């Protein structure tokens, strides 16, 4: 089973911009993904991405080390699905 590690930035900027909602990811995961990928979700402190507009917009989420900016539950799920289908 493929492993996917999702680290959600819980620093202030990301939290305010919607990271708190992304923390509900586990409840929103489609059943097929839950059954095909071993998903670990945790929160991490500020990734230091929020201070530079070139990095994109908060909230930032790491999916297997890849940074997603302006992340939403949908874009995180899409990314997990892409990894699952690799």
Gap between the Cα atoms of 83 and 11, Å rounded: 26
Q: Is 44 in the site for ligand FES (CB under 6 A)?
A: no
List 4, 8, 9, 68, residue binding ligand FES (CB under 6 A): 9
Strands 66-68 and 37-44: unpaired
Strands (E) across the chain are located at 2-9, 37-44, 61-63, 66-68
Q: Is 80 in the site for ligand FES (CB under 6 A)?
A: no
List 8, 11, 22, 37, residue binding ligand FES (CB under 6 A): 11
25 vs 60, beta carbon nearer ligand FES: 60
């Amino acid at each position: 089973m493929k492993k996917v590690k999702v680290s959600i930035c819980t620093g202030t900027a990301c939290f305010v911009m919607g990271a708190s909602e992304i923390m509900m990811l586990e409840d929103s995961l489609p059943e097929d993904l839950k059954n095909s990928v071993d998903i670990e979700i945790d929160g991490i402190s500020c990734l230091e991405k929020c201070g530079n507009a070139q990095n994109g917009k908060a909230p930032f989420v790491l999916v297997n080390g890849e940074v997603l900016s302006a992340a939403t539950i949908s874009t995180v799920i899409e990314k997990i699905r892409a990894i699952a289908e690799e």
